[in-house]
Amino acid sequence: MKITMICFVLPYPPNFGGRVDMWRRIKAFSSIGVELQLVSWFQEHPEPEDMAEMQKYCQKIYLIPFKYTIFFLARRIIDLFTYPLEVTSRIVRGQEFSCLLSEVRSFGPDVIWLDGIHGGYIATKLSEKLQIPLLTRSHNIEHLYYRRLLASTIDFKSKLQRYLSVSHLETLEKNLLKNSVFFYDISADDLKYWQSQGFTNGRYLPPFVEFEEDTKLLSKDDVINHDTMYDIAYLGNLYVDNNVASIIWFITQVLPIIRSKLPKIKVLIAGLNPVTKIRQLCEAEGVYLVINPVSSGEIYKSGRVLINPVLSGSGVSIKSVEMLVYNKPIVSTTQGISGLPEEAKQYFKIAEDAQSFAHEIIESLSNPHTVNIDRSLLESLFSSQAIEGVVSDIKSIIYSGSQPSEGKENPNI
């Protein structure tokens, strides 16, 4: 079986939630013998070692640079009358699309797999031109997620950007899901939403956990070891509005309460491409910033208490799933556990306001303990074996001959 995967960002290195989700899926497909062609976009070409790692699992890789020429920016402005902002940067036309089409045709995929809807334009075009089925991985209810980001944005520049992100997004998202033979939702809660909207082609596909040497469940001695470098640790991308807002809230509202009881605690904030405000806040005494970490495992191992202070969002917080592997106290908002199976939520300390969030952290630091998370439960909830169900779906599509209608075009895709 062959799959061409259209990933909205490079899946490697897996240093934030979306990349982790895609990368583990790539490895899961590869582990059961699926041949993969990866198509994705990049700001800077991957380092040779990163390319080599991706080539272990992907037989073909086709990378598209983001462009900043005057012509391309002018074309994007025109496209904004039809597509959301993040889609306009990923539209490929003319000779460039012909080259991509030739590469995909040569690979001969059985299906096109769209991972993240912002690559939907070329995924749809490839599906139509090659007359092969389209499958979509849904990371969020994107139009609701971006509306929340718009509502929480304050400065004019960010508000304009978010407005352009929301524009046409609901139409595009619904058309993509409707035109997919199946779509695979990261969240059971989000899937129920789509079912209430009349969609019957959705499937639940959880994010996967890995139990490698660097992400094994830690022992009691590891968890309560007072030589651990930081008292509190957070990992997430540090440029998306909801993550930025959550870190600002934690450092300005929660941390002062904690310091009133535990004045010498050390806090680690780690993640991808921090905005200026995050960099400034992390200059405070006892707050440490790690930019673009290579290993999520090292970050989570270095903290005594792990946190997810996210205040708004959609889908599933991959960081919450990741943190479960480490047998450490986890303090989260309700939003941080949204979309998780009920069996997994029992392992989180939940707090909604600054006072209770600080209290849960203080309690966890003052009374070190293991959480004793059931590894077999995690494996049953987030096992990569779920990919076998996807492969069975694809086989049923191939054998039934399901494919897009001849010449079908959608003006909003």
Tokens (6 digits) for 143: 């139009």
Give me the pLDDT at residue 401, please: 66
For residues 214 and 155, give the distance between their C-alpha atoms in angstroms, rounded to a whole number.
40
Give me the pLDDT at residue 154, please: 72
Give me the pLDDT at residue 228, please: 61
Calculate Rg over the CA atoms of the chain. Answer: 22
Query: Is the Cβ–Cβ distance between 315 and 190 less than 8 Å?
Result: yes
Tell me which residue of 292, 371, 296, 295 sits closest to 330, measured CA to CA: 371
Tokens (6 digits) for 6: 């259209």
Tell me which residue of 159, 209, 227, 176 sits closest to 368, measured CA to CA: 227
Query: Is the Cβ–Cβ distance between 404 and 128 less than 8 Å?
Result: yes
Tokens (6 digits) for 35: 């041949």
User: If DSSP codes are grouped into helix, strand and coil, which group holds residue 35?
Assistant: strand
Tokens (6 digits) for 358: 């600080």
Q: Name the pTM for this structure.
A: 0.85
Q: Residue 228 corresponds to which amino acid?
A: T
> End-to-end distance of the chain based on CA atoms, in angstroms?
27
Give me the pLDDT at residue 9, please: 93
Give me the pLDDT at residue 223, please: 41
For residues 248 and 245, give the distance between their C-alpha atoms in angstroms, rounded to a whole number.
5
Query: Is the Cβ–Cβ distance between 413 and 175 less than 8 Å?
Result: yes
For residues 37 and 55, give the distance between their C-alpha atoms in angstroms, rounded to a whole number.
10
Give the strand order in the sheet containing 349-350: 287-291, 267-271, 230-235, 303-308, 330-332, 349-350
For residues 230 and 295, give the distance between their C-alpha atoms in angstroms, rounded to a whole number.
16
User: If DSSP codes are grouped into helix, strand and coil, which group holds residue 349?
Assistant: strand
Give me the pLDDT at residue 314, please: 65
Q: What is the DSSP string of 158-172?
A: HHHHHHHHHTTHHHH
Given the candidates 3.40.605.10, 1.10.1200.10, 3.40.50.2000, 2.30.40.10, the CATH classification of the domain at 2-208+383-400 is 3.40.50.2000
**What does each C-alpha distance from 148 to 137, 141, 145, 240 come to in angstroms?**
21, 11, 5, 12
Which stretches of the chain score pLDDT less than 70? 212-228, 313-315, 401-413
CATH architecture of the domain with residue range 213-376: 3-Layer(aba) Sandwich (3.40)
Would you say how long the chain is, in residues? 413
Tell me which residue of 65, 64, 119 sits closest to 87, measured CA to CA: 119
CA dihedral 59, 294, 319, 369 (to 10 degrees): 130
CATH 3.40.50.2000 positions along the chain are 2-208+383-400, 213-376
Query: Is the Cβ–Cβ distance between 62 and 103 less than 8 Å?
Result: yes
Non-local CB neighbours of 399 within 8 Å, separated by 6+ positions:
none
